[in-house]
Structure 1
Amino acid sequence: MFPRPRYVFLDDRGMSTVEYSLGLLVAAAFAMILFGIVQSGSVEDGLTGLIDRALNFTG
């Protein structure tokens, strides 16, 4: 029946794994949103036009 030392509650050994997994989830969600934006009609047409102009450039 001894009181627990205070430093036991300040231990954060598992935080790096949790932060890593949350970072991966956020990155995946951001990639899905960005992919959806790029696949929209106007953005896709703009990017296709930009790539077409770059490939057909006669400087």
Structure 2
Amino acid sequence: MRGRSDAGMTTAEYAVGTLGACALAAALYKVVTSPTVVSTLTELLDRALHAT
């Protein structure tokens, strides 16, 4: 069919990309705020600040 428009395709691609980015951000947030990672980062910063 000639003259068919794909104008909405870019909007759909942006929507899928945005959802993917949000999912990745949520997963990264869960990892970074886990008690193990928080305690490791706290210990690392404490060592760095009190190094002699």
Common topology (TM > 0.5): yes
Corresponding letter in the other structure for 2:18: L
What is the aligned-residue RMSD (CA, Å)?
1.9
Q: How does 1:35-46 map to 2 (within 5 A)?
A: 35-46=29-40
Identity, % of aligned pairs?
A: 44
Task: Give the paired residue count.
Answer: 52
Consecutive unaligned residues in structure 2, runs of 5 or more: none
Which SS does the other structure have where 1:12 is aligned? coil
Alignment of 1:14 onto 2:13: no
What's the TM-score once normalised by structure 1's chain length? 0.65
Consecutive unaligned residues in structure 1, runs of 5 or more: none
Aligned partners of 2:48, 2:14: CA distance in 1, in Å? 38
Q: In the TM superposition, what is the alpha-carbon distance from 1:51 to its structure 2 partner?
A: 2.9
User: Does 1 or 2 have the higher relative contact order (CA < 8 Å, sep 6+)?
Assistant: 2
